[in-house]
């Protein structure tokens, strides 16, 4: 069964397998590609019916492995980490490609809803809400872009021994050479 998978078919299969969570793909993608290659004889790409089944299965896997709505919303809007039972989902989310954009969008959404409510009551003018929303969106976009370029993970726990981007602490001796 050492059948060499054609490169075009392998690329097609891996593209459709992107519907699954990253941790699932790390563990099972090679096996799934080999199985698809065995099931389809001499195909250059995954057919539409199989592709739709892969996407449906991937999305349902993502939905099953995501924390409950309340836990998800408290993480997204308040920055409260979910419990250890959702550690794999949290790792996928924090290390994901668009994490900073999702976090910025959540902050803009919360502030926008509060501002809309304040304007609806009449405590603030709609022009002020519009101006504030534009400023907030632009500032969050700049901040999220900067974090993505630096690959910062603000919610990821620090690794033991990691002192951050400033370097290790160097103790300064007192000028007189004595102890303090």
Residue 100 sits in the same domain as residue 59: no
**70 CB neighbour count, 10 Å cutoff:** 8
Q: How many domains does the chain have?
A: 2
Report in angstroms the alpha-carbon separations of 4 from 34, 102, 150: 9, 39, 39
- What is the per-residue pLDDT for 180? 53
For residue 61, being part of any structural domain is answered with yes
Contact assessment for residue 61 and residue 24, using Cβ atoms and an 8 Å cutoff: yes
For residue 45, being part of any structural domain is answered with yes
Low-confidence ranges of the chain (pLDDT < 50): 1-2
- CA–CA separation, 180 and 164 (whole Å): 27
For residue 169, being part of any structural domain is answered with no
- CA–CA separation, 95 and 152 (whole Å): 9
Which of these, 109, 99, 111, lies nearest to 145 by C-alpha position? 99
Q: What is the pTM of this model?
A: 0.60
For residues 69, 73, 76 and 81, what is the CA-based torsion angle, rounded to 10 degrees? Answer: -80
- Tokens representing 173 are 């001796």
Domain range for 26: 7-65
User: 3-state DSSP call for residue 72?
Assistant: helix
- What is the per-residue pLDDT for 19? 92
- What is the per-residue pLDDT for 163? 53
- CA–CA separation, 10 and 16 (whole Å): 10
- Tokens representing 122 are 């009449």
For residue 159, being part of any structural domain is answered with no
- What is the per-residue pLDDT for 40? 81
- CA–CA separation, 136 and 156 (whole Å): 24
- What is the per-residue pLDDT for 2? 41
For residue 156, being part of any structural domain is answered with no
User: What is the crossing angle of helices 48-65 and 22-39, to 10°?
Assistant: 150
Interval 70-120: pLDDT, tens:
998 888 877 788 888 888 888 888 888 788 788 888 888 888 888 888 888
- What is the per-residue pLDDT for 1? 40
- What is the per-residue pLDDT for 92? 85
For residue 119, being part of any structural domain is answered with yes
- What is the per-residue pLDDT for 31? 93
For residue 71, being part of any structural domain is answered with no
């Amino acid at each position: 069964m050492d059948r060499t998978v054609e490169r075009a078919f392998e690329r097609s299969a891996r593209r459709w397998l992107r519907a699954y969570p990253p941790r699932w793909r790390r563990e099972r993608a090679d096996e799934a590609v080999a199985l698809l290659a065995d099931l389809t004889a001499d195909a250059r790409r995954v057919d539409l019916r199989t592709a739709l089944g892969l996407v449906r299965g991937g999305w349902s896997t993502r939905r099953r492995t995501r924390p409950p709505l309340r836990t998800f919303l408290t993480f997204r809007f308040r920055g409260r980490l979910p419990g250890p039972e959702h550690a794999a989902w949290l790792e996928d989310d924090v290390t994901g490609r668009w994490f900073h954009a999702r976090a910025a969008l959540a902050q803009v959404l919360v502030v926008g809803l509060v501002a809309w409510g304040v304007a609806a009551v009449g405590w603030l003018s709609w022009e002020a809400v519009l101006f504030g929303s534009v400023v907030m969106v632009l500032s969050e976009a700049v901040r999220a872009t900067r974090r993505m370029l630096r690959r910062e993970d603000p919610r990821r726990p620090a690794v033991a021994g990691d002192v951050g981007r400033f370097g290790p602490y160097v103790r300064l001796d007192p000028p007189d050479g004595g102890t303090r």
